[in-house]
Amino acid sequence: MYFRFRGGWWQEATLVGLFILITLSVAQGWTHGLDEAVRAFCRDHQVTLLRWATIGLNKLGQGVVVAWILGFGLSVLLWWRKRRWQVFLPWAVAFFLTYVTLGPLKIWTMRTSPNSTLPNAVEFFNHEALLPPDSYAMGYPSGHVVNSIVWWGVITLLASRLWEIPMRWQWVMRVAPPVIVLCTTTYLGHHWLTDGMAAVTVGLLLDRLIHRFRWEVILPR
């Protein structure tokens, strides 16, 4: 058996429940005050050097960087060493799960970014955001934050098959990027705080599903 069906699904159920709670709270407007207060704080504390640093650090959640350059690149390198097609499975599973969840959720909720000049930018189902000058209504949940959780989990898994990495550094590789990206994407105004909070629940859920596969059997060291 290559997938752990047993072992309890309460953690996954909890994450789904939290995502529904956050989504309902945003839809009802309960979190608008918090989101707008965080946006105002970030706008009032823009420092040029810090902004450039956050732009660079935000790449830790960019799909091209984590999925293709790092994730796929490590898969190819591992295949070169092992000559087994199974090395591409972690990448394929992560790509599939993020593709079928993020896109539909973003399209459905139709939320623009804090950088928008629309008076109702914080709201869901924002048809005005589809029109110029915004032409963007795919902010919820944050794709960068989901990527930083899912893909750094895959990157750590693949890297641990290539090199001996102490567990504490594997922990850092998995925890640091999501924390950093949640902060940077909020500070830069790319996403509302609740976009990031919802993304944490989605990312952790997908990460849980990915790591239910018995990679120790599929990809032995």
Question: Does residue 89 sit within a domain?
Answer: yes
Q: How many domains does the chain have?
A: 1
Question: Does residue 3 sit within a domain?
Answer: no
Question: Does residue 195 sit within a domain?
Answer: yes
Question: Does residue 2 sit within a domain?
Answer: no
The arithmetic mean of pLDDT across residues 7-31, rounded, is 95
CB 148 within 8 A of CB 66: yes
Could you tell me how many residues make up the chain?
A: 221
CB 104 within 8 A of CB 140: no
Question: Does residue 16 sit within a domain?
Answer: yes
CB 172 within 8 A of CB 115: no
Beta bridge partners of 3: 213
Residues sharing a CB contact under 8 Å with residue 198, sequence separation 6 or more, in sequence order: 19, 22, 23, 26, 140, 141, 142
Q: Distances from the Cα of 22 to the Cαs of 32, 145, 181, 185, 192, in angstroms? A: 12, 15, 19, 18, 12
**Percent of the chain's residues with pLDDT above 70:** 100
**CA 105 to chain centroid:** 13
The arithmetic mean of pLDDT across residues 59-73, rounded, is 98
Q: 110 — alpha (psi -120 to 50), left (phi > 0) or beta?
A: left
Distance CA 52, CA 42 (A): 14
Question: Does residue 29 sit within a domain?
Answer: yes
Question: Does residue 4 sit within a domain?
Answer: no
Question: Does residue 120 sit within a domain?
Answer: yes
pLDDT digits (tens, 9 = 90+) for 179-214: 999 999 999 999 999 999 999 999 999 999 999 998
- Whether 1 shows a pLDDT value over 80: the answer reads no
Q: Which pLDDT value is given to residue 220?
A: 79
- Whether 2 shows a pLDDT value over 80: the answer reads no
Q: Find the domain containing 43 and state its range.
A: 10-218
CB 119 within 8 A of CB 107: no
